[in-house]
Amino acid sequence: MPAIEIDALHKRFGSVEALRGVDLTVEDGEVYGFLGPNGAGKSTTIDVILDYVRPTSGEATVFGLDATEHTKEIRQRIGVLPDAYHLDGHLTGRQHLQFAIDAKDASDDPGSLLDRVGLSEQAGRRGAGGYSKGMAQRLLLAIALVGDPDLIILDEPSTGLDPNGARRMREIVREENDRGATVFFSSHILGQVEAVCDRVGILDEGQIVAEDTMAGLEASLGSEAQLSVTLDRDPGEAILGDVERVPDVRNVTVQDRTVTVACPDARKIDVLDAVRADDVTVTDFETSEPSLEEMFASLTEGDR
Amino acid sequence: MSLLTLAKRRLLDPVRTRSLWVMLALFALVFGLMGYLGGSNSMLDTATQSVAIMAFLLPLVALSYSYDAIAGPRESGSLRVLLSYPFTRREVVLGTLVGRIAVVTLGVLAGVLAAIVATVAFGGSLDLVAFGIVLAVSTLFAAVMVAIGVGISASVPTTNAAVLTAFGSYLLYFAFWDLLPTLGRYVLNGFAFPTGPPPEWVLIWSQLNPITAYRAVAEAVLAQPPTGAFYHTVWFAIVVLGAWFVLTIGIGLVRFDRADL
């Protein structure tokens, strides 16, 4: 049974359509990265999973339970680091953590949880009103770990964390995953997701535009490598036809003395041969493997 | 279990922010002063006087401890942390209600104790039964006023909306309640002031005010139960208080349950 299943989810706030048919599945035991630019609808999707907002249509289930019907059972089994939260300032970090432990009827030791996220005992005794954003994120991460949840949902967990904190967060994600927990976390920065995720889904303008394993995404990027060939003179438009005859090439363009083409690695030599056949001399060529970052950008900024 | 965990937190909030001590001191001061006046003036019935003070003070304190109890955390985002725990929305509303009723009950208790101590200290005649009645009926009234406040708090999305609605309710009960039927009769009368004695529905409307109902119950139990029309009986007043409790918290539960937070 999938940990999270979202089916044709729509959410409208007044005249704004925040989610326009989101479908995604988070399998039991995986680390799933939920990517998208700010405003894509990541938090709204998570808010539906947590029953903070109600869907306009479509549905979300967690462990096969409807997210709006079975909130209590679901919340008993999940740990959450929500976005746009506020910590009551009159409670200390430790009191916040103890409340989460009581609420879940768990038996965790607050001290060792604080230690695990890198908050000192002293920090735990301070009022949470004085916490920096990074300390608050660490405390919320500790709270999300209470009761060894089956599913951990982290909404933009790296916000405000220094590099050490971000590394600690990734280590904890791995440790929890090794324990058997499913981890679902959102980010607008691909680099944070790349290192720990089994699979990613990319959300843009309220729709999933790509969903694949990291390896699958990288493989599909391989076919998108760009080859630029610089010639000794302007070859003219005639060269276009010759290059386009090479199988598997796309997006052939000529500008001044440079021919640019998107092709799989295996076709690069064929492209060079096709260019040379046109009675020009190749002075230089370079290939670029677009990073995941670029693909992410092209997927989510293409139509803006 | 969940309800108690939540209620305990909502009871401890005012302890931790220290606002509880201010409230307890206020009650002790006001009722201590009244006990002093009662002790030095045998003409004053301190129990009846307590009811009059409670009728004014309790709505103010109860509303100020409840109007923000759900709308505040909802607006700030602390509800987003709370609701990630195994609580239903209904439990959040009811837990808040129970916790804040407990807070205001402490105020009632402090007031009655201060009145008793001051009455004895300044040589007044002490009627413990009467003070027991004041304590019991005032606690019920506190619960109704907290239910109104929590109901409002659960029904609106922001602190601003909550404070306006709660303050508006207070003004309605104290200033405008009996003006509304007059206004209605004025309009019905073709925009001319009505003449003659008020019709019966105006008298019934007047008894629907929760503060009037509280005074009616307390005075009926302390002195003689009134006789006359059904809407002047103590049972009618009790039903009015019960209806305010159930309806306001019910509206809050339904509206909060349907809201996007």
pLDDT in tens, A26-63: 999 999 999 888 888 999 999 999 999 999 999 999 99
- B158 shares contact with chain A (CB less than 8 Å): no
**Rounded CA separation B103/B143 (Å):** 10
Let me know: does B2 contact A100? Beta carbons within 8 Å.
no
DSSP E strand boundaries for B137-187? none
Residue range A214-266, pLDDT digits in tens: 777 766 655 466 788 888 888 777 788 888 888 878 778 888 888 888 877 77
Token pair of B122 as six digits:
């300044």
- The residue assigned the tokens 């309806």 is B247
Instruction: Classify A179 as helix, strand or coil.
Output: helix
For residue A47, the chain B residues in CB contact (below 8 A) are 260-261
Percent of chain B residues past pLDDT 90, beyond the cut: 66
For residue A104, the chain B residues in CB contact (below 8 A) are 85-86
Distance set, CA A283 to CA A242, B140, B235 (Å): 19, 92, 101
Give me the pLDDT at residue A304, please: 42
Best residue in A102, A104, A108 for a mutation probing chain B (most B CBs within 10 Å):
A102
Of residues B136 and A298, more confidence is placed in B136
- Residue pairs between chains A and B whose CB atoms are closer than 8 Å: 74
DSSP β-ladder status, A258-262 and A250-255: antiparallel
**Rounded CA separation A68/B89 (Å):** 11
How many residues would you count in chain B?
261
Residue among A240, A248, A244 nearest A224 (CA)? A248
Let me know: does A226 contact A260? Beta carbons within 8 Å.
yes
Cβ neighbours around A283 below 10 Å, total:
11
ipTM (interface pTM): 0.88
- A97 shares contact with chain B (CB less than 8 Å): no
For residue A73, the chain B residues in CB contact (below 8 A) are 86
- B2 shares contact with chain A (CB less than 8 Å): yes
Band (A272; pLDDT cuts 50, 70, 90): confident
Mean pLDDT confidence for B79-87: 95
**Rounded CA separation A242/A278 (Å):** 8
For A81, name the nearest residue in chain B, comparing CA atoms only.
B81
**Rounded CA separation A145/B71 (Å):** 28
**Rounded CA separation B3/B91 (Å):** 6
The region that residue A54 occupies, defined by phi over 0 for left and psi between -120 and 50 for alpha, beta otherwise, is beta
pTM attached to this predicted model: 0.85
Nearest by CB: B83 against A52, A96, A99: A52
CB spacing of A105 vs B88 below 8 angstroms: no
- B13 shares contact with chain A (CB less than 8 Å): yes
Distance (Å) from the alpha carbon of B209 to chain A's nearest alpha carbon: 36
Distance (Å) from the alpha carbon of A190 to chain B's nearest alpha carbon: 26
- The residue assigned the tokens 């004041």 is B134
Q: Which residues contact B214 (CB under 8 A, 6 or more apart)?
A: B51, B54, B55, B137, B138, B140, B141, B144, B237, B241
CA atoms within 13 A on the CB side of A101: 16
Residue range B186-216, pLDDT digits in tens: 888 888 888 878 888 888 999 999 999 999 9
DSSP lists the bridge partners of residue A226 as A262, A288
The region that residue A233 occupies, defined by phi over 0 for left and psi between -120 and 50 for alpha, beta otherwise, is beta
Greatest C-alpha distance within chain A: 79
Distance (Å) from the alpha carbon of B124 to chain A's nearest alpha carbon: 42
